[in-house]
Amino acid sequence: MDLLLLEKALLGLFAAVTLAIVMSKLRGKHFKLPPGPLPVPVFGNWLQVGDDLNHRNLTALAKRFGDILLLRMGVRNLVVVSNPELAREVLHAQGVEFGSRTRNVVFDIFTGKGQDMVFTVYGDHWRKMRRIMTVPFFTNKVVQQNRQGWEEEARHVVEDVKRDPKAATQGVVLRRRLQLMMYNNMYRIMFNYRFQGMDDPLFNKLRAANGERSRLAQSFEYNYGDFIPILRPFLRGYLKKCQELKDGRLKLFDDHFVAAKKKTMDQLGSKMELKCAIDHILDAERRGEINYDNVLYIVENINVAAIETTLWSIEWGVAELVNHPEIQRKLRQELDTVLGPGVPITEPDLQKLPYLQAVIKETLRLRMAIPLLVPHMNLHDAKLGGFDIPAESKILVNAWWLANNPAHWKNPEEFRPERFLEEEAKVEANGNDFRYLPFGVGRRSCPGIILALPILGITLGSLVQSFELLPPPGANKVDTTEKGGQFSLHILKHSTIVCKPRA
């Protein structure tokens, strides 16, 4: 059986070599392609540039080949965009042409081949899913309905840390408690449900399942099967593990949260009062706008996209405040002056706290959670920057480099919130400046910005009000070594933080 598989693989490689040579010659006649390293048959540029196409490696390639470059990763074309003008073209001016999403063998499993909102192709299904999700998740009304819950969860974090005898001397891994806070924030919106504590069995099941999903999806281990389809049989074990995890997660969501709501909706129909997000989504399913699988994949998206990305940004913000005590002191002084010492921060206060807003903006600039944004794709042949972009190319906008290019920013390697009060005072996180796109912009931008920014402000503000945040004993700083995935960026080591209560 192994010999037969090997024979087929070799025959496939031979056919792929022949096809690659023919296509290369044909394309040379018809397409003006962006510059890039010279590809070799079958593998393209994969052996030259490797798997880890993170924001820093792609920045190095952009410095060699220009602000638009093409990498051929096996059978896939990957176009990297690295300046604000080209980003505007991809995300705004040609937002329809480049509005689809590329998927891969693993994301096809986790999203049911695009039955969700985040990774579906641009078209009627995406528009329908976006509309259905907007009312229960992404409006100012949702913020006002839920902001007291976010404030309450932040206070619970402060109280729990104060009760921990080690926190003020040896320190605690603050991320663990912040993760519970983020689950409670989002599950209260989705299901009007709150986990009782760090030892809650259901919380730990969900946390473990979502963590494994993130690990499998963000890994580079499966790229060879994605780049060279003939090698996919060798991924059989990996993909089986993904399928089993996907099935288990959807069953977990269904058994504990969705099925009971669905039963009530079926019984009451239009008479049911829509109290939380899942009620609105199931109401859309009842009316025939989406199917039940779509409902579960929406829950899947929120578990990954809303919880983890905001948690990463909070963790980066805490780390930068620990490593820059003068900035932490300046922020604390603003909170004490504007609100008064010991007065808990609330969501309406955020507009009165410009330095806190600047700290958040600077965190999102220097430590962008999704530095390459979620990849885009053109369904048909397109033009970009004077070059031809073949259909179904994967388009990566290096948003981190847009926000960290010294040609566009003063001393971008420094963590300096003051820049957003001085030379960059007009720049906002909503994409009003194409040098700064932490949430993207345009049709496929992240709608979660409306939730993420107030949660970031309430959480960081509450921690700085309540504690002096310090590195662990014997250390001058916390480790901010980066760990990237297919398109994510978070801290490699979850640091121990000393949380010294203020008098």
Q: Which candidate, 464, 471, 473, 472, places its Cα nearest to that of 502? A: 464
Three-state secondary-structure class, residue 39: coil
Q: Which candidate, 430, 422, 372, places its Cα nearest to that of 396? A: 372
Three-state secondary-structure class, residue 428: coil
| Residues 138, 132 contacting (CB under 8 angstroms) | no
The whole-angstrom separation of Cα 181 and Cα 419 is 30
Q: Annotated binding residue at 242?
A: no
User: What's the maximum distance between 2 C-alpha atoms anywhere in the chain?
Assistant: 75
Convert 146-175 into a string of H (helix), E (strand) and C (coil): HHHHHHHHHHHHHHHHHHCCCCCCCCEEHH
The whole-angstrom separation of Cα 121 and Cα 375 is 11
**Assign residue 500 a region: left if phi > 0, alpha if psi is -120 to 50, beta otherwise?**
beta
| Residues 80, 373 contacting (CB under 8 angstroms) | no
| Residues 331, 321 contacting (CB under 8 angstroms) | yes
Rg (CA), the chain: 24
Beta bridge partners of 376: 395
Tokens of 234: 């060798």
The order of strands in the sheet holding 172-173 is 172-173, 496-501, 467-470
The whole-angstrom separation of Cα 395 and Cα 389 is 9
Instruction: Provide DSSP, 73-115.
Output: ETTEEEEEE-SHHHHHIIIIITTTTT-B----HHHHHHTTTT-
Q: Which candidate, 337, 336, 327, places its Cα nearest to that of 360? A: 327
Q: Which residues contact 61 (CB under 8 A, 6 or more apart)?
A: 36, 37, 49, 69, 71, 80
The secondary structure element, H or E, covering residue 9 is helix 2-30
Question: Among the residues of 138-273, which ranges form H helices?
Answer: 140-163, 174-191, 201-218, 223-227, 236-253, 259-268
Residue type, 481: T
Three-state secondary-structure class, residue 13: helix
Q: Which candidate, 475, 140, 490, places its Cα nearest to that of 317? A: 490
Query: Which residues are documented as binding site?
Result: 446
| Binding positions for heme | 446
